Amino acid sequence: MSNDRRLDVLRAIVTEYVHTREPVGSKVIAQSHDLGVSSATIRNDMAVLEEAELIYQPHTSAGRVPTDKGYRVFVDQLRTLKPMSLPERKAVESFLSQSDSLDDVVTRTVRLLSQVTRQVAVVEYPALVREKLRRVEFVDLAPTNILVIVVTESGRVEQRTLVLVHPFSAEDLNWVRSRVNAVAEGRDVTEVHEAFDTLADEAPAHLRDGVMMMTEAVSDLLESTAESRIVLAGISNLARGAVDFGDIAPVLDALEEQVVLMRLFSELNQDDDVHVTIGEENPHDALTQTSVVTGTYRTTDSPFAARAHLGVVGPTRMDYAKTMSYVRAVAAYLSRFLSQ
């Protein structure tokens, strides 16, 4: 018996089961897939696949269903992913190109992935180890209330409201804004700390306490851009597919807490193009009923580059080829966005 044909039978079972959620019989494969053999021959192949624990029969007289091991063999045989069609690619690029900041592109990305895959989408903000400052703004809210806004070179925006001991005039605020941007623009958090060490000494005596508070706030906000955080969308997709889970509650709990996903991302090989973990392969109990398809996006290959992950969480009965293709394509787009 041909090993290639056996794999063709496995692919047919996975494909049919993913689209119908019904156990797949030999007659369906013979009619729907041009394998060039009879349904009797296909039944023999299925018996071998079942003995190898790649498929199983959920009940007597039923067709066959892939196991986690069967899905793994199927995914490993996807040597090349079918690229998105030109209309699909244009639609993705058009939707994401409307983003004008990192927050916007992350929000759009997670919405897009959840819509096109009909699963839960997860996007991690890049941990920009050496994120650099583009601009600082100080907005006068009240005589002693100042809004500090930090804009990084990636377009990320962080802000904080300060209550000063002494009021700052418009002229005072302009002086601080000018000096802070002059010494800090284009620098990372370590360099900003060093630049601010002497800035308070330059300030007029009546401004020094306020200047110290404002520069500390800028440093803190810039440092916070290196903290990992994730955004999710499409949890309702998972709930609608609850029939695919024995118990969906642990999965929903894990997604809500997000800690499991952060751990999963931290354990990934960051050089992987697209990585798939299936069922029991997931190291965390809450995800053993799911498959997780992840990709990595980055600015450059520099050790200090922006780097993060995105992915899709769904049942093991998943359209792997489509999901992997979208994850890879969107990760590539995010890499281009950050590099620009």
At residue 340, the pLDDT reads 67
Question: Alpha helices of the chain — where are they, by DSSP H?
Answer: 3-20, 26-32, 39-51, 68-76, 86-97, 102-117, 170-184, 189-196, 199-202, 208-224, 235-240, 249-257, 259-266, 320-339
At residue 301, the pLDDT reads 52
**Got the DSSP string for 88-155?**
HHHHHHHHHHT--SHHHHHHHHHHHHHHHHSSEEEEEPP--TT--EEEEEEEEEETTEEEEEEEETTS
Tell me: the pLDDT tens digits for 264-309?
887 776 566 789 999 999 888 889 999 999 998 876 654 445 678 8
Tokens 């941007």 found at? 181
Q: What's the pTM value of the predicted model, to 2 decimals?
A: 0.70
Which domains, from first to last, does the chain contain?
3-76 (1.10.10.10), 86-127+228-339 (3.30.450.40), 133-224 (3.30.390.60)
**Got the DSSP string for 255-275?**
HHH-HHHHHHHHTS-TT-SEE
Tell me: the pLDDT tens digits for 94-132?
888 888 777 888 888 999 999 999 999 999 887 655 678
Bridge partners (DSSP) of residue 253 are: none
- Give the count of beta carbons closer than 10 Å to the beta carbon of residue 132: 18
Tell me: the pLDDT tens digits for 212-252?
898 888 888 877 655 567 899 999 888 887 788 888 988 98
Closest CA to 327 of 120, 87, 99: 120
Closest CA to 71 of 11, 2, 8, 25: 11
Q: Does position 12 have pLDDT exceeding 50, yes or no?
A: yes
Q: Would you call 83 exposed, middle or buried from its count of C-beta atoms within 10 A (0-12, 13-18, 19+)? A: exposed
